[in-house]
Amino acid sequence: MSRLDAFDLNAKDMYQYGSEANQDQVQRFAADLGKPVTAGSDTHQCLQFGSVYNELQMPCESAAELKDAIMQGAYQLHVSDSLPVKVKASVMLKKLMKEIIRLQSPSAVI
């Protein structure tokens, strides 16, 4: 774990385990290892976009500049007040899309 540069908050985990509880757990774990915490970018559905995000305080044009900004703490992590609705809608959309694909499959039995 010490080889990692930072830890991230994942919107789906925050939804599943409770936003504050998950944030506290990740923040404590990261602090014990002396690592920063960022908002995760693992958004698979458009409805979940913006649930958590980072606002950089400096322009970054490369991965190295982004890493420097994070390591310097030159960012602010934001958690949307609508995170539960965004994630729930995303989960529901994913299930619906899988069902549509299943029904369109030539081997589907109706």
Q: What is the pLDDT of residues 7-45, one digit of tens each?
A: 999 998 999 999 999 999 999 999 999 999 999 877 777
Give the pLDDT of residue 45.
79
With bands split at pLDDT 50, 70 and 90, how would you rate the model's confidence at 105?
Answer: confident
Amino acid 37 reads V
Q: Give a three-class secondary structure readout of the chain.
A: CCCCCCEEECHHHHHHHCHHHHHHHHHHHHHHHCCCEEECCCCCCHHHCCCEEEEECCCCCCHHHHHHHHHCCCEEEEECCCHHHHHHHHHHHHHHHHHHHHHHCCCCCC
**Could you read off the pLDDT of 39-92 as tens digits, one per residue?**
987 777 788 889 999 999 999 999 999 999 999 999 999 999 999 999 999 989
pLDDT score of 108: 56
Backbone angles phi, psi at 49, to 5 degrees: -55, 135
- In this predicted structure, what is the pLDDT of residue 110? 56
Query: How far is it between the farthest Cα atoms of the chain?
Result: 57
Q: Is the pLDDT of residue 95 over 70?
A: yes
pTM of this prediction? 0.79
